[in-house]
Structure 1
Amino acid sequence: MDIFGIKGLLICALIFIPFEHLFAERPQKILRNGLGVDLIYMLFNGLVIKAVVVLIAANTLEAAAMLVPQSVTHAIGGQPIWLQVAEIIVITDIGVYWAHRAFHEIPALWKFHAVHHGIEELDWLGAFHSHPVDSIITKAISLTPIFFLGFSEASIAVFSVIYFWHTLLVHSNLRIPFGPLKWLIASPQFHRWHHANQREAYDKNFAGQLPFLDVVFGTYNATGNKVPEKYGVDDPVPSSYFGQIGYPLLRRRKRSNRVVPESKG
């Protein structure tokens, strides 16, 4: 049993590495800095997060059985699969948007999210580079309504596949013009400007899949075809895996200029 997802990793690598070589947004080595740490995140964190999602689903479904009328869950789960998937994308991305924004605006949460932003050479594997607390909280907020409302297993499975591959795509080092679809579907250009360590990019482009949410809530950063000068953060995030896991628990010695100053009151 491939509990660590080795086969999935190899499939992703066989797809993204050649394309990133042929259509790279910026020159970057395959064996880039931080590659080993990202592989650890992918192999070990993925296992932990999957287990947590199963627990969230089980507890939410149990609560829903007591609180939500069966007529509601049957009506939602009985819709066409394509419609359920579209609804799931909207509902989950609203949750992702506000969870993501909270991780930027609340200093205690930013210390967890800074680990993800610490990536200085961004590619598809960076999609897995996230502190488990960050990932678990975000998934709990975005997925709980889906399990609670009674969406079918088939629609959740289809959404999961779409979300997985799209998350890898937006973190990839690919130059892909989305044209007018850039307002509807998050592109690598849209998300790399969320990762840019430049003043005009700070606290922008929070949506995971639907950029129009940033337009609606005033956090959209229109960058045209410009390429960020650099990625990363000013925070002193360690370079090792265990250093990054423990970093949010350490007393901050340097304040990031990305977060709201803590109250002195």
Structure 2
Amino acid sequence: FIEDSELYNRIVLGAFLPHSAWASLPRFFQTWLRNYIGGVLLYFISGFLWCFYIYYWKRNVYVPKDSVPSRRAMLLQISVAMNNVGWLSYVVYLAIYMIIVEFGIYWMHRELHDIKPLYKYLHATHHIYNKQNTLSPFAGLAFHPLDGILQALPHSLSLFIIPVHFTAHLALIFIEGIWTANIHDCIHGKVWSIMGAGYHTIHHTTYRHNYGHYTIWMDWMFGTLREPEEDEGKAM
């Protein structure tokens, strides 16, 4: 794979840039630059050839002459395609993406409890750690592989709904590994609205509350939220 990637980098970057401009870059950036250049070329070459074929070479065959888009319209489309969405739009997209992920993971997690075969054969493996003295950060990834895949699905499926930069997607997946360790350490961080370990410990002891992911909002909306302070009050 690495050899193939380096070959493609040499072919594309070597054809359009001086060797000194890209040879010293890390392989990750070389590959990104190669994909960017290749994507832009594919966009313009395929678009130009297709327009030439249907609008000029085969004029009036596929599209009537008076229905051919103006050059101004096509240039505007190119401008939109080549410009960034802008930071404000990007932040909005990311926020919507996170809401969809929160919603998806909440319901995926809840159904892993409510659908008995899924719980018995998949999710129960994770819930053998059901007391504070058996939970530890290592319990975060102690689950059936299919369980992990199902709970990660909302991250991937959301990409088909909301445009999010791939680097942001990868960063969020990386953060998952840290987050899942954090919420199993049984230490209540007392940060309101964050579904921290205080909330998740309750989930492991009651099985019917706090299915949420990063925040408590989905549990609050769907009536499954249980506050750590409630348990502390009962203990007293």
User: If the TM-score is normalised by the length of the shorter chain, which range does it land in?
Assistant: 0.5 to 0.7
Shift of residue 146 of structure 1? 1.9
State the structure with bigger RCO (CA 8 A, min sep 6), 1 or 2. 1
For 1:215, the equivalent position in structure 2 comes to 220
For 2:124, the equivalent position in structure 1 comes to 114
**Matching of residue 143 in structure 1 with residue 156 in structure 2:** yes
**What CA RMSD, in Å, does the superposition of the two structures yield over aligned residues?**
3.0
TM-score of the superposition, structure 2-length normalised?
0.55
| Superimposed CA distance per residue, residues 5-33 of structure 1 (whole angstroms, 9 cap, x where no aligned partner) | xxxxxxxxxxxxxxxxxxxxxxxxxxxxx
TM-score of the superposition, structure 1-length normalised?
0.49
Amino acid at match of 1:149: I
For 1:176, the equivalent position in structure 2 comes to 189
- The 2-side partners of 1:84 and 1:125 are apart by 33
For 2:209, the equivalent position in structure 1 comes to 204
Describe the SS at the equivalent of 2:183.
helix
Higher helix share: 2
Gaps of 5+ in 2: 1-76
Shift of residue 209 of structure 1? 1.0
Residues paired across the two proteins, number: 149
**Matching of residue 157 in structure 1 with residue 176 in structure 2:** no
Shift of residue 85 of structure 1? 3.8
- The 1-side partners of 2:162 and 2:92 are apart by 14
**Matching of residue 78 in structure 1 with residue 85 in structure 2:** yes
- Equivalent pair of 1:93/1:207 in contact (CA under 8 Å): yes
For 2:107, the equivalent position in structure 1 comes to 98
Would the alpha carbon gap of residues 106 and 82 (structure 1) be closer, same or farther in structure 2, given more than 3 Å must change? same
Aligned identity (percent) is: 24
Amino acid at match of 1:213: M
Would the alpha carbon gap of residues 225 and 125 (structure 1) be closer, same or farther in structure 2, given more than 3 Å must change? farther
Would the alpha carbon gap of residues 88 and 158 (structure 1) be closer, same or farther in structure 2, given more than 3 Å must change? farther
- The 1-side partners of 2:114 and 2:188 are apart by 30
- The 2-side partners of 1:187 and 1:87 are apart by 21
Aligned mate of 2:97, from 88, 98, 105? 88
Amino acid at match of 2:146: V
- The 1-side partners of 2:185 and 2:223 are apart by 25
